[in-house]
Amino acid sequence: MPEKLKVAVVMGSDSDFPVLKKCIQTLKQFQIMTEVHVISAHRTPYLAEELARNAELEGTGVIIAAAGKAAHLAGVLAAYTVVPVIGLPIQSSTMDGLDSLLSMVQMPKGVPVATVAINGAENAALLAVQILSLAHPELKQALKAHRKQMTEDVMENDRMIKKEARLLLDI
Ligand code: RP5
């Protein structure tokens, strides 16, 4: 079995951290080794380069890059490594995060960034786990169990709402 890989969660500013919490918690839920960094592509470009260049050597399987506004962090990191980069656009601007989203999702050809929804922190983590699961069957099992739990939660919500609706409808 291949050695367990880790996920590097990189955010462009400490102001992104509140959104990142759900991502970090989800990675923890799947017992993924996680390291967290504040690295700005424009304020600390050399650190961004260093992290991305060393990612493969250091056993990083996936990089999650969260940033807002002209969110070039994910693209810059992806330029220096073949480790998959997931872009998490942060809703941090007067443009409601559309600027962040487009900065990540519209990467020109050659260097992809797998972009999730604006503030889609949980999905960023789940996608990272899915990528790691290609080499770790136990993660596939954990992901399937997570899907099953979600199904059960929705079915429970359906029962609850039907009950409340019956009261409203007086039936
Ligand atoms: C981006 O600019 C960061 O990722 C953050 O989302 C946004 C605002 O940063 P601060 O001005 O709060 O440091 O670089």
- Ligand 1 mean position, distance from CA 36 (Å): 16
pLDDT recorded at residue 93? 84
d(CA 138, CA 21): 24
Alpha-carbon distances, residue 43 vs 8, 47, 57, 86, 106 (angstroms): 19, 9, 25, 21, 22
Atom of ligand 1 nearest to the CA of 16: 6
Using alpha carbons, list the distances in angstroms from residue 98 to 44, 48, 108.
Answer: 24, 23, 17
Q: Are strands 114-115 and 6-11 parallel, antiparallel or unpaired?
A: unpaired
Q: How far apart are CA 63 and CA 84, in angstroms?
A: 6
Task: Report which protein residue has its CA nearest ligand 1's atom 9.
Answer: 13
Separation of alpha carbons 140 and 135, rounded Å: 9
pLDDT, one tens digit for every residue, the chain (171 residues): 456 689 999 999 999 999 999 999 999 999 999 999 999 999 999 999 999 999 999 999 999 999 999 999 999 999 999 999 999 999 988 899 999 999 999 999 999 999 999 999 999 999 999 999 999 999 999 999 999 999 999 999 999 999 999 999 998
- Tell me, yes or no, if the pTM score tops 0.85: yes
